[in-house]
Amino acid sequence: MLKYRAIARSHGLHHHGLARRFPLRGTRQLQTATVTDGDIARLAAKPLHPLTLVDLCKHGRPPLSKQALFNSANFTLEILPSRLAHRIQSLRALPYIVVANPHVSKIHDNYVHSMSTLLPYAERKIETLQEEIAFTEAMADLVQTHANTIAVLARGFLEARKYISKDEITKFLDEHLRARIGTRLIAEQHLALHFSSKPHNDFSDGDDPEQFRQIQNSSYIGVIDTALKPADVIRSCEHTVGEICELKYGVRPTVQIIGSPDTTIAHIPMHLEYIMTELLKNSFRATIEAGMEREPIEITIAPAPASDEPQSQTKSSKSNKFDGTVSNVSQGNVDHASGANKPVRSVSENIRAIGEQTRGVTIRIRDRGGGISPENYAKLWEYGFTTFNEDEIMDKVTGGHSSGGSGLDALSSGAVGGSSLAGLGYGLPLGRAYAEYFGGGIAVQSLWGWGTDVYVTLRGVGKIS
């Protein structure tokens, strides 16, 4: 139960009161089926569905009716198994000695496990609430299973780098991590729609009009916030990263937000959070190492104009196999059956509502942390490139009187769990993958000896690959 509440919270569902009589039971045993090589070959042979924003919003605005919720579950079920099968195949296509690495093979096993929880539903449609609940539990399990796997993957490829070229690693990880973003998004969208749906909120009792109103008037459509304010996300990330600094090093750099802090965009809050946390960690660390924590990190928010152009693929995202755009609108399932007093928006209205928000935002993060040497600048976008050294930073903040730090490297101190400031060397390349997912990007400008400017551009959600 707690587990699911935590998942719901991480999806912005704290913005509207959660189901009081919550139906998911965390203790329930998931139904699984044995995954054969034949299953994987068959599912991987299915063409990958070109997923669009429209797909994620086509079931209507929350709260979804029972039928719309089933449609969401069946749609999710239609596209996830082949995506998982593609991941399994591309892991198996790595040199054997790489797949045999315990960490890489752990990732492989995670995918096979998730596949085994989907197969029991694969050949049929979800038509009852019990099935929908069981399926949603499988989705929650999928999200959990792959939640903290970046450090595992990083360790695996660090250990295996003797056996595989840098280019092959980059190619694999770029494709794998971008696909992972999409797969998680699809599962998380169904989870979020489930939690805010009518069948799972007891609106039928008519005893909680306030909760109904909150869900209906929320700016969220599942995990998409159509009125996301980057300034709010930045403040919350500043707090998180500031805590790490304070706890570990006893200093806390500050952030000054200027420009147009009121700007809003339609985007996935979780994605912007990931990007800003990684960029702030980098700037905070550089600032501390340079002894410049009295100089605030200056963040400028500037709205970027709307664009009707289909969002072009950037160079490094060419591994994406999908290219759906908002213009490929297919008529989805509109929730006409709703008894709500407010008219339910049609599919095209939903799209228009998002369309108004396809304008983007540019965020510039400017620190006085000394910049990046030309030699390091060339390696910034390599997965695993890092100059982090726990002992060095400890020496800086204690004036050389530290005991030499803990001696732990970032991998064992949980760099991804949020307790470390750096160390995996995935912050920039993975942050860029998130930004590019909807046609944005990240650019780094270094003034060596002085500081660094990082430009993050986000296009309002327009395409999902």
Q: Of Mg ion, ligand ADP, none, which one does residue 238 interact with (CB within 5 to 8 Å by kind)? A: none
Sequential DSSP letters for 135-174: HHHHHHHHHHHTTT-HHHHHHHHHHTGGGS-HHHHHHHHH
Using the Cα atoms of residue 408, residue 411, residue 412 and residue 413 in order, give the sign of their dihedral.
positive
Interface with ligand ADP by CB under 6 A: which range of 32-40, 90-98, 248-256, 379-387?
379-387
DSSP state, residue 317: G
Total number of residues that touch ligand ADP (CB under 6 A):
21
User: Which is nearer to ligand ADP, 156 or 423 (by Cβ)?
Assistant: 423
For Mg ion, the closer CB: 361 or 372: 372
Q: Is residue 282 a contact point for Mg ion (CB under 5 A)? A: yes
CA dist., res. 295 & res. 256, Å (int): 10
Comparing CB distances to ligand ADP, the nearer of 427 and 439 is 427
Which tokens hold the place of 325?
A: 């755009």
Regarding 136 and contact with ligand ADP (CB under 6 A), the answer is no
Given the DSSP bridges, would you call strands 360-367 and 297-304 parallel, antiparallel or unpaired? Answer: antiparallel
Min dist. Cβ of residue 112 to Mg ion (A): 31
By CB under 6 A, residue 39 contacts ligand ADP: no
Q: Are 446 and 306 in contact (CB under 8 A)?
A: no
Among ligand ADP, Mg ion, none, what does residue 386 contact (CB within 5–8 Å per kind)?
ligand ADP
Select from Mg ion, ligand ADP, none the partner in contact with residue 423, using the beta carbon and a kind-dependent cut-off of 5 to 8 Å.
ligand ADP
Q: Name the segment binding ligand ADP (CB under 6 A); options: 93-101, 233-241, 386-394, 456-464.
A: 386-394
Size of the site for Mg ion (CB under 5 A): 4
CB of 380 to ligand ADP, least distance (A): 5
What count of other Cβ atoms lies within 10 Å of the Cβ of residue 321? 16
Q: How many CA atoms lie within 13 A of 369 on its CB side?
A: 27
Residue 278 within binding range of ligand ADP, rule CB under 6 A: yes
- Residue 98 or 428: the one with the smaller Cβ distance to ligand ADP is 428
Residue nearest to Mg ion (CB): 427
The 8-class DSSP code of residue 345 comes to P
**Smallest distance, Å, CB 205 to Mg ion?**
49
284 binding ligand ADP? (CB under 6 A) = no
Stretches 81-89, 109-117, 368-376, 401-409: which one binds ligand ADP (CB under 6 A)?
A: 368-376
Contact characters 161-200, ligand ADP, x per CB under 6 A: ----------------------------------------
Token code pair at residue 316: 């490094």
Q: Residue 170, class by beta-carbon neighbours within 10 Å (0-12 exposed, 13-18 middle, 19+ buried)?
A: middle
Asked if 427 touches Mg ion (CB under 5 A), the answer is yes
Q: How many residues does the chain have?
A: 465
**Residue 241 engages Mg ion in binding (rule: CB under 5 A):** no
Tokens 């999806």: give the residue. Answer: 11
Q: What is the DSSP string of 2-28?
A: HHHHHHHHTTTGGGSPPPSS----TTS
Q: Which does 104 bind (CB under 5 to 8 A by kind): ligand ADP, Mg ion, none?
A: none
* 253 is a contact residue toward ligand ADP (CB under 6 A): no
The answer to whether residue 376 forms part of the interface with ligand ADP (CB under 6 A) is yes
Give the whole-angstrom CA distance, residue 423 versus residue 160.
18
CB distance 120 to 33 below 8 Å: yes
Residue 393 as a binder of Mg ion (CB under 5 A): the answer is: no
Distance in angstroms (rounded) separating the CA atoms of residues 34 and 115: 9
Q: Which is nearer to Mg ion, 8 or 372 (CB)?
A: 372
> Which of residues 221 and 290 has its CB atom nearest to ligand ADP in the complex?
290
What tokens does 60 get?
Answer: 């209507």
Q: How far is the CB of 260 from ligand ADP (least distance, A)?
A: 23
Query: Which lies closer to ligand ADP via its Cβ, residue 186 or residue 276?
Result: 276
Q: Which residue has the tokens 């799972």?
A: 200
Q: Does 277 bind ligand ADP (CB under 6 A)?
A: no
Give the angle subtended at the CA of 366 by the CAs of 360 and 372, to the nearest 5°.
Answer: 115
Q: Which of residues 401-460 bind ligand ADP (CB under 6 A)?
A: 422-428, 452
Inter-residue contact 314 to 441 (CB < 8 Å) = yes
Rounded CA gap, 248 and 424, in Å?
A: 17
List the Cα angle 443/449/454 in 5-degree steps: 15
Give the C-alpha separation, 426 to 435, whole Å.
14
Alpha-helix residue ranges (DSSP H) falling in 196-346 = 209-217, 230-249, 269-289
CB closer to ligand ADP, 226 vs 287:
287
Q: Tell me the residue number closest to ligand ADP, measured at CB.
A: 427
Residue from the set 164, 304, 380, 411 that interacts with ligand ADP by CB under 6 A = 380
Q: Kindly state the tokens that stand for 42.
A: 């068959």
Among 422, 430, 433, 442, binds Mg ion (CB under 5 A): 422
Nearest to 423 by CA among 434, 409, 443, 441: 409
Positions touching Mg ion (CB under 5 A) are 281-282, 422, 427
Positions touching ligand ADP (CB under 6 A) are 278, 282-283, 286, 367, 369, 372, 376, 380, 385-388, 422-428, 452
